Amino acid sequence: PYDVEMAYKLAPPGGKFLLGADPYGRDIVSLLLVGARSSIVVGIIAVSIGLVIGTAFGLLASAKRGWVEEGIMRLADFGFAFPAILSAIM
């Protein structure tokens, strides 16, 4: 994706370049795919962390009834009370 081909600079979308080329002759689709790769990895890691922590707390709440279950439920209620953007800012 980083190969510079000045002969194709600002090439329109077509045969060789699906979305065209940038001012340095690099393929736009290749650059988008390279950029998406890191975003997908970050998303997968974030979901995995949430899955592991959520499963652990769910199993703990089901195993230890009583005040432990109530505490975990109140913690979950507190998390759901805020919009996602507010939680991201915090």
User: How high is the pLDDT of residue 45?
Assistant: 96
As a whole number of angstroms, the distance between CA 20 and CA 18 comes to 6
Averaged confidence pLDDT in the chain:
89
As a whole number of angstroms, the distance between CA 42 and CA 48 comes to 10
User: How high is the pLDDT of residue 1?
Assistant: 80
As a whole number of angstroms, the distance between CA 51 and CA 44 comes to 10
Q: Using CB atoms within 10 Å of the CB of residue 29, give its burial: 0 to 12 exposed, 13 to 18 middle, 19+ buried.
A: middle
Most confidently predicted of 10-19, 46-55, 80-89: 46-55
As a whole number of angstroms, the distance between CA 71 and CA 35 comes to 41
Q: Is the pLDDT of residue 86 over 80?
A: no
Which pTM does this prediction carry? 0.62
Q: Is the pLDDT of residue 18 over 80?
A: yes
